[in-house]
């Protein structure tokens, strides 16, 4: 790939890897619950917070590979384009030969050479990048792999959540991958002048208690996907929030979860004010306690970037996680609301400077 493209995608790629049943977290890891189906996959269950869904041998193989890349140390960073480096090999082992990988704000990469070349640059810049698995849900060939990423950038430890969404082929190899995380978190120290577009949104009233069963939303059903897609594309914050009544909202740019209806609606309205989203339904994964919903399409940036041409359209997506005990979490990239493509390239250049 061109040098500029490789440089500006370094950290992006490094964050990659970023019948219903449940696995309940216990002190030694996630153990199988009474409604689990499929293979045990004990090695994975011992390392993550929760695994739900029908765990096929392919799903188990994928999860082992995904965890392996997050755990293996880089050692000596790879030379540019060195696909034989042990950690690069661990990364490429996740993917099918013809796989595609979509990262925030860019066109999908295709094939192991492109994907592998990108990760070599990432590991050179951030050799200590690592992650652990959090909440994982399998739905047929679809995997929603929640993870907690940690990396050192410009001498600062940075940690942030991610959902690695994968569609699996034979042998549990990923044939299509998309990664959902907020790149803004990567520049909190390198570009302190940036301010999250959601930084001023908070509950005006005291936090609402979330420990009462009658305050948590009902489990999301597959037959609700169409109506929810309509609400997203209509920018209908009221309807989106109403379905999650009683749930606390965790999302990019928030220092604490939002619990009031007014604050949650204000958050979504800010998103719709800054970016006009147009989605199609992506993958969905339904566990006994956790549901993941993917919405994928484009966003036309409307505000927050005074130097960008009006109506700038970018690839964009959101993953919703509806979890146990009344939790609602959004995963998306807020950086395009703050900077255009060239400006983002400059931000990545800052990360490369000593």
pLDDT at 30: 52
- What kind of fold does domain 3-194+344-352 have according to CATH? Nuclear Transport Factor 2; Chain: A, (3.10.450)
Helices (H) and strands (E) in the chain, counts: 10, 15
How do strand 95-102 and strand 174-180 relate by DSSP bridges?
A: parallel
Nearest to 292 by CA among 161, 167, 142: 142
pLDDT at 32 over 90: no
Domains 3-194+344-352 and 213-337 share a fold: yes
Residue that has been written with the tokens 């000596």 in this structure: 76
| Exposure b/e, 104-131, CB count within 10 A at least 16 = b | bbbeebeebeebbbbbbbbbbbbbebbb
Q: Is 219 exposed, middle or buried (0-12, 13-18, 19+ CB in 10 A)?
A: middle
pLDDT at 55 over 90: yes
pLDDT at 354: 75
Say how far apart CA 127 and CA 73 lie, in whole Å: 8
pLDDT at 208: 54
Q: What is the pLDDT of residues 197-233, one digit of tens each?
A: 999 999 997 655 554 444 678 889 999 999 999 999 9
CB 38 within 8 A of CB 56: yes
Greatest alpha-carbon pair distance for the chain in Å reads 56
Which range, 90-99, 114-123, 297-306, 321-330, has the best average confidence (pLDDT)? 90-99
Q: Where are the beta strands (DSSP E) in 187-311?
A: 248-250, 275-286, 291-301
pLDDT at 324: 87
CB 138 within 8 A of CB 39: no
Q: Which residue has the higher pLDDT, 239 or 301?
A: 239
How do strand 37-38 and strand 50-55 relate by DSSP bridges?
A: parallel
Q: What is the pLDDT of residues 57-94, one digit of tens each?
A: 999 999 999 999 999 999 999 999 999 999 999 999 99
Nearest to 15 by CA among 122, 99, 133, 140: 122
Q: What is the mean pLDDT of residues 263-287?
A: 96
> For the chain, which residues make up each domain, given as ranges?
3-194+344-352, 213-337
pLDDT at 4 over 70: no
pLDDT at 332 over 80: yes
Measured from the Cβ of residue 190, the count of other Cβ atoms closer than 10 Å reads 19
Percent of the chain's residues with pLDDT above 70 = 84
Terminal CA-to-CA distance of the chain, rounded, Å?
24
pLDDT at 12: 36
pLDDT at 25: 32
Q: Which two tokens stand for residue 91?
A: 């990364």
CA 109 to chain centre: 17
pLDDT at 66: 98
H or E element, residue 125: helix 112-125
pLDDT at 215: 66
The CATH number of the domain covering residues in 213-337: 3.10.450.50
């Amino acid at each position: 790939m061109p040098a500029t493209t490789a440089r500006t995608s370094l950290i992006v790629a490094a964050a990659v890897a970023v019948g219903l049943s449940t696995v309940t977290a216990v002190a030694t890891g996630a153990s199988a619950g009474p409604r689990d189906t499929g293979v045990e996959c004990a090695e994975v269950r011992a390392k993550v917070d929760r695994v739900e869904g029908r765990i096929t041998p392919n799903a188990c193989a994928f999860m082992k590979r995904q965890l392996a890349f997050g755990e293996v140390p880089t050692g000596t960073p790879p030379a540019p384009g060195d696909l034989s480096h042990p950690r690069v090999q661990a990364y490429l082992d996740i993917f099918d030969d013809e796989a595609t990988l979509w990262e925030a704000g860019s066109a999908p990469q295709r094939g192991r050479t492109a994907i592998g070349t990108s990760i070599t640059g990432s590991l050179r810049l951030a050799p200590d990048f690592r992650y652990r698995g959090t909440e994982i849900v399998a739905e047929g060939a679809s995997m929603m792999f929640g993870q907690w990423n940690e990396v050192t950038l410009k001498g600062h430890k940075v940690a942030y959540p991610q959902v690695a969404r994968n569609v699996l082929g034979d042998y549990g190899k990923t044939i299509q991958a998309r990664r959902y995380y907020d790149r803004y978190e990567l520049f909190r120290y390198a570009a302190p002048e940036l301010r999250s577009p959601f930084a001023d949104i908070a509950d005006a009233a005291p936090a609402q208690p979330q420990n009462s069963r009658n305050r948590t939303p009902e489990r999301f059903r597959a037959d609700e996907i169409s109506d929810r897609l309509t609400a997203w594309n209509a920018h209908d914050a009221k309807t989106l929030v109403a379905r999650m009544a009683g749930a606390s909202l965790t999302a990019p740019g928030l220092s604490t979860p939002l619990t009031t209806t007014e604050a949650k609606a204000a958050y979504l309205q800010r998103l719709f004010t800054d970016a006009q989203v147009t989605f199609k339904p992506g993958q969905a994964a339904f566990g006994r306690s956790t549901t993941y919903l993917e919405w994928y399409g484009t966003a036309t940036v409307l505000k927050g970037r005074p130097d960008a041409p009006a109506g700038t359209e970018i690839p964009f997506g959101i993953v919703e996680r509806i979890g146990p005990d009344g939790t609602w979490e959004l995963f998306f990239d807020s950086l395009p609301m703050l900077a255009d493509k060239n400006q983002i390239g400059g931000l990545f250049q800052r990360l490369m400077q000593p």
